[in-house]
Structure 1
Amino acid sequence: MNLKRLSIILAITLFVNLLGGCELISKTEEGEKKTVVAKVNGEKITKGEFEKIFQSQLVQYEMMYGQDFATKKENEELIKNIKEDLLNELINERILLQKAKELNVQPSQEEIDKEVAKAYDEAVKQAGGEDKFNKTLEAFKMTVDDFKNYMANRVVIDKVYDEIIKDVTVSEDELLKYYNENMYDYTEKPNKMNVSHILVETEDTAKKVLEELNKGAKFEDLAKKYSIDPGSKDKGGNLGDIYYNDDNYDKTFLTNAIALPVGKISPIVKTQFGYHIIKVNKKEEYRLKTFDEVKDQVKEVVLEQKKAEKIDETFNKWKEEAKITKYIDRL
């Protein structure tokens, strides 16, 4: 091919592209929506589906952190993580929707419509009327159809969950075990104590503090001098009132504090945070209700826990078996 002919072909190509320029953008946008971002057992999840939900989520972040949240350089990694998490949620949803058909628990369209109508009426009522509800949807870049489609999927997924947990039961031994391990949840009033501590990094420092305490030094003075807990050291080590069943505190710390008589100082207690010396200033303790008194409550808790575990276990197995392809670079 000579240079003259090549230049003619390039010119024709350029001319054709210019003529089609008015359609090029719309085609590209439409094609972008159809771009596959994941496949689940051969079923496609498109960028259009993904973007619809992502844009709605983005509104929530912008409300919390400002309109420029997505455009800030420092948020690039966070945006990437949000997108990946959302894609995983869509994949999980697709697996469950597929399982509804496979397990033959797909509800009828009539049943779905009935449940969706109930959910819609409830949402409108909570929003304070249809106009307010529509404005809320609009603010989150959603339509009424988007809401109804979302709720329809929830109806189907609930049927799958019901199928998974239909045979879950609890034994008397399981209930007793839970009751004995969580007895502070079942007192007539919540047990609580006022606690102080001195937290240090090494056992040698803890021994030094304990030695000074035994010689008559004041607990509060040593807390201000040695403790590395910024929240309590300036208060003489005082943590305030702590409930016996407070999950925010280390289990070892709580167990030792509960066992300590009021006014006494503990031996050195090691936890994940370092070495503690604990002092209990005051306690309020109430009668433990008997197992028979709270059996129904215990059963409700244990049954819900076992159902959740069964759902997690079953779903994780399904996900391992599923053929999943993700195209993260297309998000």
Structure 2
Amino acid sequence: MKNIKRLATAMCIMTFMFSIAGCNMIEKTPEAIANSTVAVVNGEKITRGDLDKNPYTMQLLSQAKQQYGEDYEKNEEAVNTIKSQKEQILEDMITNKIIEQKAKELKLLPDEKKLKTDMNNQIAQIKKQQFGNSTEQFDAALKAQGFTEDSFKSMYLSQLREQQMQQKVSDSITKNIKITDKQIEDYYKANQDKYTELPNKMHLAHILVKTKAEAEKVKTRLDKGEDFSKVAKEVSQDTATKNKGGDLGTIKYDDSQYDAQFMAGAKALKGGEISDPVQSSFGYHIIKCIDKVKYPVKPLSKVKDEIKKQLESDQKSKLVSQKLQQWKNAASITKKEKNIM
């Protein structure tokens, strides 16, 4: 009797173990992976398949194969990079899902018939302009990127739908924005450097150090008459300019490559003047303005429309960003990061 009970117990355990193994096997099939949930937004699922079919994910994985090889999944650095970027892509998909839900609620979904017409017209233009209407070349280019014509059209239609939906929602949010003449005039007065006949420019040199105390010591040495170039070669931590005495060459006022705080400090200087310590994201600078060329400012009448468009764009971006954050804060969002990879 005891042996029968032991056998029955063993059979139960084996059955349980096989059921677990079976579940694990099911979870590991491509279909089950694709159907696994990576996020739920107000009750609507985003699956692993949705995430993996996202064009940005496909581009990410293509780049990973080029950089790390076909077996990139065995490379820890590659896996960590992909996971981090897929998390950001998922975050964008969550935002897009919220926009889609709001578009449905506000009856702002694009017309599907028009979408397909737009898609076919745009793809026809791509084939004509980039492939000389050669179907063979077009198909070869799609294949190289892992697409068939049908899968490419599906992806393209999805992106077009998303773009038009976002535009409709954005237009709805920002429809009451109005820019006044006073706002235009105030912006013009505060940003005249942007509206000169030619971009203003300045010939600069700088000395970069880590701390404000170090920068103050540098300024003291310069105030006592030491040569700027000599001090820069001794102490500057900018390896690209150190051996040139800190010389940065001629920089236009509208050059976006430079830190905004650095540029503000440089613009405030007169020709031949040396700044007090200026903090940027790189450390502390002592800036020397070797020379400066400033051009006449265009009259307001010539740039009024341009400024109006800029202010409209800025206000729209701000308002849409605020509204999206408001919707996101109010949404019920659950993320399942373990299913991302």
TM-based fold match above 0.5? yes
- Structure 2 Cα separation of the partners of residues 328 and 183 of structure 1: 48
Following superposition, the deviation at residue 169 of structure 1 comes to 1.9
Following superposition, the deviation at residue 214 of structure 1 comes to 4.7
Q: Please give the residue correspondences for 1:49-198 in structure 2 after superposition, counting only pairs within 5 Å.
A: 49-53=50-54, 56-62=58-64, 65-67=67-69, 68-128=71-131, 129=133, 130-142=135-147, 143-144=151-152, 145-198=154-207
- Structure 1 Cα separation of the partners of residues 224 and 10 of structure 2: 98
Q: Is 2:222 the partner of 1:217?
A: no
Output the TM-score relative to the length of structure 1.
0.85
Pairwise CA RMSD: 3.2
After superposition, what is the alpha-carbon deviation per residue over 1:38-97, rounded to whole angstroms, capped at 9, x for unaligned? 111111112222222265133442366342544321233222211211211221221111
Aligned residues: 327
The alignment partner of 2:94 has SS state of: helix
Q: Is 2:339 the partner of 1:295?
A: no
Q: Structure 1: give runs of 5+ residues left out of the alignment.
A: none
2:274 to 257, 266, 283: 266
- Structure 2 Cα separation of the partners of residues 312 and 289 of structure 1: 32
Does the C-alpha gap of structure 1 residues 203 and 141 become closer, same or farther in structure 2, counting only changes over 3 Å? closer
After superposition, what is the alpha-carbon deviation per residue over 1:149-186, rounded to whole angstroms, capped at 9, x for unaligned? 33233233322222222222212222223222322221
What letter corresponds to residue 57 of structure 1 in structure 2? Q
Q: Please give the residue correspondences for 1:238-257 in structure 2 after superposition, counting only pairs within 5 Å.
A: 238-257=247-266
What letter corresponds to residue 265 of structure 1 in structure 2? E
- Mean Cα deviation higher: 302-311 or 195-204: 195-204
Following superposition, the deviation at residue 101 of structure 1 comes to 1.1
Q: Please give the residue correspondences for 1:8-27 in structure 2 after superposition, counting only pairs within 5 Å.
A: none
Does the C-alpha gap of structure 1 residues 112 and 7 become closer, same or farther in structure 2, counting only changes over 3 Å? same
- Structure 2 Cα separation of the partners of residues 176 and 112 of structure 1: 41
- Mean Cα deviation higher: 131-140 or 31-40: 131-140
Does the C-alpha gap of structure 1 residues 118 and 305 become closer, same or farther in structure 2, counting only changes over 3 Å? farther
Output the TM-score relative to the length of structure 2.
0.82
- Mean Cα deviation higher: 8-17 or 27-36: 8-17
- Structure 2 Cα separation of the partners of residues 202 and 40 of structure 1: 46
The alignment partner of 1:289 has SS state of: coil
Q: Tell me, yes or no, if the aligned pair for 1:186 and 1:289 is still in contact at 8 Å.
A: yes
- Structure 2 Cα separation of the partners of residues 47 and 228 of structure 1: 46
Q: Tell me, yes or no, if the aligned pair for 1:120 and 1:148 is still in contact at 8 Å.
A: no
The alignment partner of 1:2 has SS state of: helix
Q: Structure 2: give runs of 5+ residues left out of the alignment.
A: none
